[in-house]
Amino acid sequence: MAVRTAVIPAAGMGTRFLPATRATPKELLPIYDTPALQFVIDEAAQAGCTRVVIVTSRAKPSIESYASAASTDKVAVSVVYQDSPLGLGHAVSCARQVVGDEPFVVMLPDEIMGDASLTKQLVALHEKSGKSSIGLKRVAATEVSSYGNVKVAVYKSDTEDAVEILQVVEKPKPADAVSDIVIIGRYVFSPNIFDKLEQIKPSANGELQLTDALEMLANERALLGVVSEITRYDTGTPMGLLRAVIEIALERKDVGQQLNSWLKEKFNK
Ligand code: UTP
């Protein structure tokens, strides 16, 4: 079945960006002149989605007002609410009624990708296999403990880089890592993810973790992944946001050259 809907969870507290997030939600912090959220809406449209559903909080009215002006002739943008920030798994389940009985993409707006290629690959893998398919990346051993970590096997498919996920471990201690492959913020889900999300229990910090539902799919051998080398900016951390602003501005026709000359001048002193 074709994947036409993208869900963007944007109801978190953004505590790592305080005090900025008292004024502006993390998802609307500008990457030079464009809110992070817009990059993700554009990526959804480029990957063929015609509908974007933003999960937001009533404490972040500027997201709703941004969304109300974000629809284009290619994509219709709407919002649903998560009444309290009970975790990413809970945020995704808040979109259940709007998504309906269809496969859908989940895109984390604090991860900006260089292009839409990974989301397109995941959509293609889902359309071919009928299975939920998630974005993966190899990282240095020292970084594994910041992510969901997966053990994988080769998946027999003509889709490049596709793997079957055998095990999922959330933020393992270095000694407990099962590989150097981690989950990144792009997912294509079959609608049965909503049933899994109903079954999960809150983790130690009281949140409903999406990773726990992924673990259930992996245990049923119902989860695939694509190991990607895509350019990715983790704009959920202050350093990642700075890097995104500089690198994306360097690519821009209007300011790229000026910024490049200024940086050279500054560092050649
Ligand atoms: P994060 O955990 O990175 O966002 O969730 P956060 O909680 O806002 O960040 P910090 O740790 O306090 O700085 C990834 C994405 O999931 C959304 C967030 O808005 C972010 O886009 N999210 C997270 C929700 O929509 N609801 C939640 O309950 C948690």
Residue 256 pLDDT more than 70?
yes
How much of the chain is in helix, strand and coil states, percent to nearest 5? 40, 25, 35
Instruction: Confirm if 188 and 132 have CB atoms less than 8 A apart.
Output: yes
Q: What pLDDT, on a 0 to 100 scale, did the predictor assign at position 161? A: 78
The answer to whether 188 and 104 are in contact (CB under 8 A) is: yes
Task: Tell me, using a 6 A CB cutoff, whether residue 55 lines ligand 1.
Answer: yes
The answer to whether the peptide bond before residue 19 is cis (omega within 30 degrees of 0) is yes
**Region 5-252: CATH code:** 3.90.550.10
Question: Which of 15, 18, 22, 26, when mutated, tests ligand 1's pocket best, judged by the most ligand atoms within 8 Å of its CB?
Answer: 26
Give the residue extent of every domain in the chain: 5-252
Is the confidence at residue 269, as pLDDT, over 90?
Answer: no
Residue 158 CA, ligand 1 centroid: distance in Å: 35
Residue 196 Cα distances to 131, 206, 234, angstroms: 14, 17, 27
Answer with the residue of higher pLDDT: 30 or 1: 30
The first and second tokens of residue 55, run together, are: 């999960």
Q: Which atom of ligand 1 lies nearest, measured to the CA of 207?
A: 28
Q: Looking at the DSSP assignment, which residues form a beta bridge with residue 106?
A: 7, 187
User: Residue 14: what are its φ and ψ, rounded to 5°?
Assistant: 60, 40
CA of 85 relative to ligand 1 center, distance in Å: 8
Cα dihedral sign, 67-68-69-75: positive
What is the predicted pLDDT for the residue at 268? 86
Yes or no: say if 93 and 157 are a contact pair by the CB < 8 Å rule: no
User: How much distance in Å is there from the Cα of 84 to the middle of ligand 1?
Assistant: 11
Residues 202 and 154: beta-carbon distance below 8 Å: no
Q: List, for residues 231-252, the tens digit of each pLDDT value.
A: 999 999 999 999 999 999 999 9
Question: What are the structure tokens assigned to 258, written together?
Answer: 């000026």
pLDDT reported for residue 1:
81
Q: Does residue 15 have its Cβ closer than 6 Å to ligand 1?
A: yes
Task: Indicate whether residue 54 lines ligand 1 (CB < 6 A).
Answer: no
Give the residue, 268 or 186, on which the prediction is more confident.
186
Q: Note the pLDDT of residue 117.
A: 97
Identity at 132, one-letter amino acid code: S
